[in-house]
Homo-oligomer: A and B are copies of this chain.
Amino acid sequence: MRANPGPRLTSPIRRVPDPTVGRLSTYLHCLRALERDGITTVSSAEMADHTGINAAQIRKDVSYIGELGRPGVGYDVGHLKRCLMERMGLGQPHGVLLVGAGSLGSALCSYPGFAEQGFFIIAVFDSSPAKVGRRLGSLEVLSMEELARRNRDLRARIGVIAVPRDAAQGVADCLVAAGIRGILNFAPVKIEVREGITVRNVDLAQEFEALSYYMASATD
């Protein structure tokens, strides 16, 4: 597994800085593209060309995961990809519960990018009786009352909140009660969860505001 013989260093799982986490995704993306092109070896300088990220930065980021490169040669594309995926918890597919069958929920359901990275929406829930029973792609929209019971079988660990702001906290509580460990929240509100549950917020309006700021600054 490890190409490096020598003193047995029980790989100390070094903490990865927050900004590195996002870049690891970028590297993964880059490696997948290289793999599609049949390229088997890549140097940090080449990855720098592809991603726009400084080569030393790439080497340091990768070194948080382990000593995965060969001096004078570079990195093995497949091996690096597997190691990154492993470390990011992408070793096996993730089942995902989606709450909210509105337009955003529908969009997420039909977004092909998720399945490519191993995230599969395996059930959809909505509190509106008008939506329950309808289909979203191949999935039938279920009522919120069913959520906990269904997840006893499905055992999904990730939930997505795609409901209006005021409903978000209630949905979060529901997901946590059903055994969810991580939440991707699209509602523009800070949701409170107990220790041990990971929440990540995606605020689309905020992205527009940031874009506006940088446009305003660029206008000199």
Contact = CB atoms under 8 A, between A and B. Distances in A.
A203 B196 CA distance: 25
The number of times this chain is found in the oligomer is 2
Kindly name the residue among A22, A113, A188 whose own CB sees the greatest number of chain B CB atoms within 10 A: A113
Interface residues of A, number: 69
Contacts of A207: 184, 200, 202
Contacts of A181: 215, 218-219
Contacts of A109: 103
A14 to B, nearest CB: 11
A170 interface: no
A204 B103 CA distance: 16
B111 A182 contact: no
Interface in A20-35: 21-26, 28-29
Interface in A53-88: 53, 87-88
